[in-house]
Chains A and B, each alone.
Chain A
Amino acid sequence: MTLRFAGRTISYVVLLLIAAVALAPFLVLLIISFKARIDVLEVPPTLHFDWSTISENYRIVMHDDGFITYIKNSLIVTFASTALALAIGVPAAYAFSRLEFRGRDNWASTILSFRFMPPVAVAIPIFLMIQYIGLTDSYLGLILPYIAFSLPLVVWIMIGFFDEIPREIDDAAMVDGCTRVGLLFRVMLPLVRPGILVSAIFGQIFIWNEFLVGLYIINSQDRGTIPIGASSLLTTESPVDWNIAAAVGILTVIPMLIFSLLVQRWIVRGITAGTVR
Chain B
Amino acid sequence: MGTVTFDGVGKVFPDGTHAVTDLGLEVADGEFLVLVGPSGCGKTTALRMVAGLETITRGEIRIADKVVNDLEPRRRDIAMVFQNYALYPHMTVAQNIGFGLKMHGFTKSEVERRVNEIAAVLDLGDLLARKPRALSGGQRQRVAMGRAIVRNPAVFLMDEPLSNLDAKLRVQMRAEISRIQRELRTTTIYVTHDQIEAMTMGDRVVVMRKGRLQQVDVPQVLYDHPANLFVASFIGSPSMNLFQGEVAAGGMLQVGTQRLALPRDGVFARELATQAGRLVAVGVRPEWIVPASSGDDRPRLRGTVVMTEALGFEVLVHVEIDAAPVVTSETIEVALDVDAAALADLEAERSKQRTMIVARFPAGSPVRAGETIELGLDLSHAQAFDLESGLALGAG
Interface string of B46-62 (1 = CB under 8 A from A): 00100111000000000
CB nearest to B54 among chain A residues? A171
Q: Is B99 interfacial (CB-CB < 8 Å)?
A: yes
A100 to B53, CA, bound (A): 13
Is A44 located at the chain interface by the 8 A CB criterion? no
**How far is A182 from B87 in the complex, measured between Cα atoms in Å?**
17
A interface residue numbers (CB < 8 A to B): 100, 166, 168-169, 171-179, 182, 187, 190-191
Contact indicator A177/B86 (Cβ below 8 Å)? no
- Interface check B368, CB cutoff 8 A: no
| A171 close to B82 (CB less than 8 A) | yes
User: Known contacts being A176-B99, A176-B147, is A171 close to B72, with CB within 8 Å?
Assistant: no
Q: Return the CB mask of B292-335 against A: 1 if under 8 Å, else 0.
A: 00000000000000000000000000000000000000000000
In the complex, which of the residues A166, A169, A176 contacts B100, with contact meaning CB atoms closer than 8 Å? A176
Q: How far is the CA of A191 from the CA of B89 in the complex (A)?
A: 8
Complex contact A177–B74 (CB within 8 A): yes
> Which of A171, A174, A182, A187 is B88 in contact with, Cβ under 8 Å?
A187
Enumerate chain B residues within 8 angstroms of A173, measured Cβ to Cβ.
Answer: 88, 99
**CB–CB B74/A176 < 8 A:** yes
Looking at the assembled complex, report how far the CB atom of A193 sits from the nearest CB atom of chain B, in whole angstroms: 8
Contact B82–A168 (Cβ < 8 Å): yes
Q: Is the CB of B84 within 8 A of A176?
A: no
Contact between A100 and B78 (Cβ–Cβ < 8 Å)?
no
Report how far A215 CA is from B137 CA in the complex, Å: 58
Contacts A177-B100, A178-B103; is A172 near B86 (CB within 8 Å)?
Answer: yes
Is B394 an interface residue, CB under 8 A from the partner?
no
User: Which A residues lie within 8 Å of B74 (CB)?
Assistant: 174-179
Once A and B bind, how many residue pairs between them come within 8 Å at the CB atom?
A: 61
Contact of B14 among A100, A174, A178 (CB under 8 A): A100
Per-residue interface assignment for chain B, residues 89 to 120, with 1 indicating a CB less than 8 Å from any chain A CB and 0 otherwise:
11000000001100110000000000000000
| 18 A–B pairs (Cβ distance < 8 Å), ordered by A | A100-B14, A166-B84, A166-B86, A168-B83, A171-B51, A172-B80, A174-B53, A174-B73, A174-B74, A175-B53, A175-B73, A175-B78, A175-B80, A176-B147, A176-B151, A178-B103, A179-B74, A187-B88
Distance in Å: Cβ of B292 to nearest Cβ of chain A: 53
Q: Is B392 an interface residue (CB 8 A)?
A: no
Interface membership of B79, Cβ < 8 A: yes
CB B163 to nearest CB in A, in angstroms, measures 13
Nearest 5 A-B pairs (CB), nearest first? Answer: A177-B103, A176-B100, A168-B86, A172-B86, A177-B74
Chain A residues in 8 Å Cβ range of B157: 175
Contact check, A177 vs B104: say whether CB atoms are below 8 A apart: yes
The answer to whether B99 touches A191 (Cβ under 8 A) is no
Contacts of A172 in B (CB 8 A): 80, 82, 86-88, 147
Question: Beyond the given A172-B87, A178-B103, could you list 15 further A-B residue pairs with CB under 8 A, ordered by the A residue number?
Answer: A168-B82, A168-B84, A171-B51, A173-B99, A174-B52, A175-B52, A175-B74, A175-B80, A176-B151, A177-B74, A178-B74, A187-B88, A190-B90, A191-B89, A191-B90
Minimum distance in angstroms from A255 CB to a CB of chain B: 31
Which B residues lie within 8 Å of A166 (CB)?
84, 86
CB distance from B105 to the nearest CB of A (A): 9
Roughly how many angstroms separate A182 CA and B73 CA in the complex, as a whole number?
13
Residues of B within 8 A of A190 (CB): 90
